[in-house]
Chains A and B, each alone.
Chain A
C-alpha cells in the first residue's frame, strides 16, 4: 500500500512534467542545485571527519538541527507544504488510517528537498569513515533525523491548518511569528555571553584565538553539546556520543529522537484523522456584513468598483495577509539586530521594504482572483479600470502606511536629518514597484493557493514558475530603483541636505512616472489578452 503512494506521487510528478517543458527544466535546475549543495556538504563532512571527528560531529549535529527546524517552520510562513497528495483526496477510499499516514510520510520524502535532505543526511554519516563501525550508527541517526523532519513538518502544518485557514489567520500568523522573533533578542544575548565565557576559558588556557580557530571550535562544541539534547539535534548526535564512548548519553539521545518522532506521529495521525472528517470551510459560518462596505465609499465607476473589491479582499482574504503581516513584522525584525549592534540606522530600511512588499503583493493579482476573473472579462472591463482599480488601494493605503513606518523609524533612530531622502525612497519604491506589478500581473500569471484554500498549500509543481516570474519582476524593480538607491546612499553617506532633497524629488517624480507608465503598459496588455489570462488561470492545476 505504501508502495502505491510512492508510485502515485511519482506518476503525478511525471504527468506534471509531461505537460510542461519549463517545469522539466525547472526541476532539472532544482535537482542540479540540490545535488551541488548536498555534494559540497557531504564532501565537507567527509574531509572534516578525517581531520577532526569530534568537531565535525558537533557541526553535523548543529546543521542537522537547523535542517529539522527549517522543515518544521518554513512551510508555515513561506512556501506551504507540497499538497500533491492532499489527504482530503483519499477520504473516500477507505484506506486504513495507519496505512494512509505511513504512505503520506514516505511519499513526503519524494520531493527535491526531501531527497536532498535524505542524501545529505546519509552522506554525512560517512564523516566517520576513520572508524567504520560508527557509520551504521550515524546512518541510523540520519534516518531518525530525516523521519523527524518529514513527520514534524506534516504534523506542524496539519495541526496549524485549521487555524491558518480561518479568517483569524492574519492575527495568528502575526502573533506566532513574533514569538520566535522576540526570543531572538534574549537568545542573542545569551549566546554572546556563552561565547564570552568560552573565550575567557580558552584564553585562560593560554590559547591565542586568532591562530587556530579553537575559539570557534570551542563555541561549536558548547552549542553542539547543548543542541544534542534537544529533539532537533538528538538523532544527529548519536554517532558522536558513541564515538566518545558515552553509552548512556547515546541511549538517552536515541530515546529523545525516537520519542520525538513517536509524539509527532501521534499528533499528525490524530489531527489528520480530525481534518479528514472536517473538510475546510470558507471561514466562519454565516458571517455577515452590513451594507455595501467599500463599494459605498469608493466612487461609483468601474475603477472605483475594482478598487473597492480589492480593498475588501486585502482585508478579508487570508492569502493577502502575508503582505499585511510583514508591515508589523518588518520593524520588529530590524529592531533586534539594530539594538544589539547599537546602530539604529538599520531601522530605516523598514520603510522601503514595506513599500516594496505591499506593491509586490499585487504582482499576481489575476492569479489570486483565479477564475472569478471571468467577471472582468465577461463585463468587458477595460484594462485601464482593471489596472487602476487594483493599484489604487495599495497606493492610497500603502502611502499612509509607508509614511507612518518611515516616520516611526525616523523617530526611533533619531535621524530626522534623513527624513527627505527616506521619504523619497519609500514613495518612489512604492510607485515604481506598483508600476512593475501592474505590468507583471497582466503579463505573467502563476498558480497560487486558490481562494478559500489554505495559504499553506503550495500548488503542485508551481514553485519554478513562481520563482521565475517573481525573480524577473524583482530584477526589473531593482534595476528601476537603482538611481534612487544610489542617491539615497549618497545622501546618507554625505549627510548633504541638498542631495537629500534631490532624492525626495527624484523619488516622487520617478515613482509617479513609472506608476503611470506601468499602468498604461499593463492596461494595454490586459486589453489585448484578457481572454488568454482567463484561460491561463482556468488551466491552473
Chain B
C-alpha cells in the first residue's frame, strides 16, 4: 500500500531544494485516507531547516493491530509519530484518527489517543501518583475515576510502592512506566508509544508487553516504534520499515519479512551494513 512517492529513493541529496508549495502538493496518485483505520497518514512532510526529516509518508494502521514501526536512527520515526499524534505540525499531508482529521479537529482526535513521546521530560517534581492523576484530570476525567484507575495502573506497572516518590528520583525504566501509565489513564482507543521499552528492565518489559497484548485483545490499537527487530517480530502483528523519512515496506510481519528474519529484511531495505575492516588496531592481543 505504501511506498515512496518520489523517484529519488535512497539519495536524499538529489532533489533540488523544493519550495514548500512543491512539497505540500499531494502526490498525484495519492489514495484517499482510510477513514476506518485507527491511524491513517497521507503525504506527511516535515523539514527542519535544510534537512527533510519526513518526505511524503503514507501509512495505515488497521484497528485492532499491534503495529511496529522500525527504522534506523534518524529515519524519522519520532518525527512521524509526533505529527501523527498532534505534537508536531506537519509541513504538509493529513492525519486521520478513526476518520477524524487530527490537525483540523485536534481535541476530538487527541481524546482517543494515548501518547508516550520519546525524548521529552515529565513534570518530575510531582510524585508518580500525582503525575498520573494530573494526566487524568487534564483529560477532564472526574476525581473518583482518576483515583481508581491511577491506583490500578500503578499496581499493573509495579510502581505501587513508589507511588509517593517524586518522579525525579525514579530510574529510567520507572520513568518510562509512569509515562506509559499517564498515557493510558483515559482508556484511549489507540496507543502510540515511541520507544516504550528503552531502558526498561526485562521483567518490567514483559509486564508491559502483557498489558499491551491484553489491550489489543480487548479491541485497542497499539503503535510502537523501536529499533529492536527481535522484539517487534515477536510482539507485533504488523510492521512498517521506515528509512530516510519514507515507508520502505509495510504490512503484516509475515508479509514484510517474507522468508527472511525481520532483521535481515530490514538491513536489506535500509542498507548501510559495513564490514568491520580497518579497526585492527583495536585488537588487544
Contact = CB atoms under 8 A, between A and B. Distances in A.
Contact of B110 (A282, A370, A374, A380): A380
B88 A534 contact: yes
B279 interface: no
Contacts of B205: none
A372 B146 contact: no
Contact of B126 (A288, A302, A309, A535): A309
Nearest to B150: A292
B130 A531 contact: no
B117 interface: yes
A313 interface: yes
Nearest to A389: B138
Of residues B113, B130, B142, B165, which shows the largest number of chain A Cβ atoms within 10 Å of its Cβ? B130
B138 A379 contact: yes
Interface in B149-183: 164-166, 168-169, 182-183
Contact of B130 (A293, A302, A317, A377): A293
A285 interface: yes
A374 B113 CA distance: 14
Interface string B263-283: 000000000000000000000
5 closest cross-chain pairs (CB), A and B:
A305-B137, A380-B110, A282-B168, A300-B143, A371-B120
A282 B121 contact: no
B134 A376 contact: no
Given A312-B130, A378-B115, A371 B121 contact: yes
A316 interface: yes
Interface string B8-52: 000000000000000000000000000000000000000000000
A306 B115 CA distance: 19
A292 B130 contact: yes
B79 to A, nearest CB: 11
B90 to A, nearest CB: 10
Greatest chain B CB density within 10 A among A295, A306, A370, A371 is at A295
Given A371-B121, A538-B120, A295 B137 contact: yes
A372 B137 contact: no
Contact of A369 (B113, B123, B164): B123
B74 interface: no
B138 A288 contact: no
A375 interface: yes
A62 B135 CA distance: 57
A538 B169 CA distance: 22
A413 interface: no
A376 B115 CA distance: 11
Interface string A498-534: 0000000000000000000000000000000001101
B133 interface: yes
Given A302-B138, A313-B125, A535-B89, 7 more contacts: A289-B127, A290-B164, A295-B134, A302-B139, A306-B138, A372-B124, A380-B107
Nearest to B90: A531
A20 B182 CA distance: 36
Given A282-B169, A301-B140, A295 B122 contact: no
Interface string A274-314: 00000000110111111111010000111011101100110
A339 B267 CA distance: 78
Given A288-B164, A305-B137, A378-B117, A372 B122 contact: yes
Interface residues of A, number: 46
Given A282-B124, A286-B169, A302-B140, A375 B182 contact: yes
Interface in A445-488: 450-452
Nearest to B115: A378
A409 B130 CA distance: 38
A382 interface: yes
A306 B140 CA distance: 11
Nearest to B109: A380
Nearest to A315: B125
Nearest to A537: B120
A375 B138 CA distance: 9
Given A288-B164, A295-B130, A295-B134, A379 B139 contact: yes
A399 interface: no
B127 A304 contact: no
B60 to A, nearest CB: 22
A451 B169 contact: no
B6 interface: no
A312 B125 contact: yes
B107 A378 contact: no
A381 interface: yes
B26 to A, nearest CB: 21
Given A378-B86, A534-B87, A292 B124 contact: no
A300 B143 CA distance: 6
Given A282-B169, A285-B169, A378 B140 contact: no
Given A282-B169, A531-B86, A375 B130 contact: no
Given A309-B123, A316-B125, A451-B121, A382 B107 contact: yes
Residue of A291, A293, A378, A534 ringed by the most chain B CB atoms within 10 A: A378
Nearest to A535: B88
A301 B137 contact: yes
Contact of A377 (B86, B121, B139, B168): B86
B119 interface: yes
Given A287-B166, A288-B164, A376-B138, A300 B87 contact: no
A471 B107 CA distance: 35
B75 interface: no
Contacts of A316: 125
Contacts of B107: 380, 382
Nearest to B169: A286
A378 B183 CA distance: 9
29 contacts: A287-B166, A288-B127, A288-B165, A288-B166, A289-B166, A290-B164, A301-B140, A302-B139, A305-B134, A305-B137, A305-B138, A308-B134, A309-B123, A313-B123, A370-B121, A371-B121, A372-B124, A374-B87, A375-B123, A378-B87, A378-B110, A380-B107, A380-B110, A451-B121, A531-B86, A531-B88, A531-B89, A532-B89, A535-B89
Interface in A239-290: 282-283, 285-290
Contacts of B146: 300
Contacts of B129: 292
B169 A372 contact: no
Nearest to B186: A379
Given A531-B86, A531-B88, A309 B119 contact: no
Contacts of A377: 86-87
A380 B125 contact: no
B85 interface: yes
